[in-house]
Amino acid sequence: MLVRLLYASHSAKPVTSDTVESILAQSRKHNPRLGITGILCQSGDTFMQVLEGGRTAVNLLYNDIVRDARHKNVVVLHYEEADQRRFAGWTMGQVNLAKVNPSILLKYSETTTLDPYAMSGKAAMALLEELIATAQIVGRAC
C-alpha cells in the first residue's frame, strides 16, 4: 500500500548549500532501493519534505528522520494512503524557494516566507502540487 507523508523540520545547525546537497545525495542514493520518491523544500533553516512509498518504508524512514540529530521540531503535517504517487518523477526532487515567485507562497500562507508550521497540511500539499505544475521542482528522475 502506498502512503504519502509530509513533514516539516528545522535544521539543528546552520544550513549551507553543502548541507542541502548532502541531504539530496543521500536521499537519491538510498530512496530507489527503498521504493521512496518525494521532494524537499528548504528555506533558511526550515525544511518541508514529502516522502511517498510503501507504508513500512515511509514510516521507517520518517522514524529515522525524527531520531536524526540534524533535525529538530519534526512535525507531521499530512499523512494519507495514496492510490498513486504524485512525486513519482523524483527520487528526491528539490524546490529552491529563493527562485519561486513569492506570490505562490502568499497564496497558501500568511507571508511570503516558508513556514509550514503555520500552514495546514492541505495547504502545504496544494503548494507543492502548484510547484510541480509550474516546473519549480528540479532533480534527477527515478
pLDDT digit string, tens, across residues 30-53? 888 999 998 888 888 888 999 999
Q: Could you tell me which residue, 96 or 77, shows the higher pLDDT?
A: 77
DSSP E strands, 44-90:
46-54, 71-82
pLDDT digit string, tens, across residues 84-118? 998 887 777 777 677 778 888 889 989 888 899 99
Residue 141 pLDDT: 43
